[in-house]
Amino acid sequence: MAGRAGLTAFKLTQAGAEMADDLGFEQVTLSALARRFDVKVASLYSHLKNSEDLKVRLALLALDELADRAGEAIAGRSGKNALIALANAYRDYAQAHPGRFVAARYPLSDTVAATSSGVKLSRMLGAVLQAYGLSDNEQTHAIRFLGSVFLGYTTLESAGGFAHTAVEAQISWERTLDALDQALRHWPV
């Protein structure tokens, strides 16, 4: 026997995130995680409340990482440049970490969601929108609009929804960003 595995909730979450990217979010089970650490499943319950707990941790990790990248992307930029940088960070993350990206959409309770990096992300969208000079209420509408486009586009793309047409996805993405900028500059009061 080679001593203890030295498990932590964090290590488990980290490993789960890697598994999610490699095998898919739905393949991340406590059983698979236990196999990976050469440990019995029951042992995981010392570190995780249950399998739901693991999924929530994965969601929070993904939101954290996503918010970090978004923050770096918009640093020192504003206006359309900031918009493009944030959008690309979002899309790049989804492509580099498909499993984590699915995890980021795992439904969280209201209280957990309120303390997640999801709100950070939402505030960053607001920061990017500053340059477009909208009122507070309109900014909220615009944040929802932006969030919808980012989520929808990356979801469709990562699900292979664009793979069947010969038309380049990269161009579609550029058009999408241009269209967004256009819509924001002429926001329908």
Site residues, a copy of itself (CB under 8 A) = 105, 107, 110, 113-114, 137-138, 140-142, 144-145, 147-153, 155-156, 159-162, 164-165, 167, 169, 171-172, 175-176, 178-180, 182-184, 186-188
Angstrom distance (rounded) from CA 90 to CA 135: 25
Q: Which does 45 bind (CB under 5 to 8 A by kind): a copy of itself, DNA, none?
A: DNA
Q: Of 185, 176, 169, nearest to 87 (Cα)? A: 176
SS3 content of the chain, % helix, strand, coil (to 5): 75, 0, 25
Residue-wise over 88-102: b if at least 16 C-beta within 10 A, else e?
Answer: ebbbebbeebbbbbb
Angstrom distance (rounded) from CA 88 to CA 111: 29
Q: Which residue in 14, 15, 18, 32 binds DNA (CB under 7 A)?
A: 32
Q: Which does 131 bind (CB under 5 to 8 A by kind): DNA, a copy of itself, none?
A: none
Map residues 1-20 to x or -, x wherever contact with DNA holds by CB under 7 A: x-xxxxxx------------
Q: Which stretch binds DNA (CB under 7 A): 43-51, 58-66, 134-142, 176-184?
A: 43-51
Tokens 């010969």 label which residue?
166
Q: Which does 75 bind (CB under 5 to 8 A by kind): DNA, a copy of itself, none?
A: none
- The helix-helix angle for 118-129 and 79-96 (nearest 10°) equals 150
Q: CA of 123: how far to CAs of 71, 144, 189, in Å?
A: 10, 11, 21
Smaller CB distance to DNA: residue 32 or 169?
A: 32
Q: Which does 127 bind (CB under 5 to 8 A by kind): DNA, a copy of itself, none?
A: none
Q: Which does 172 bind (CB under 5 to 8 A by kind): a copy of itself, DNA, none?
A: a copy of itself
- Smallest gap from residue 48 Cβ to DNA (A): 8
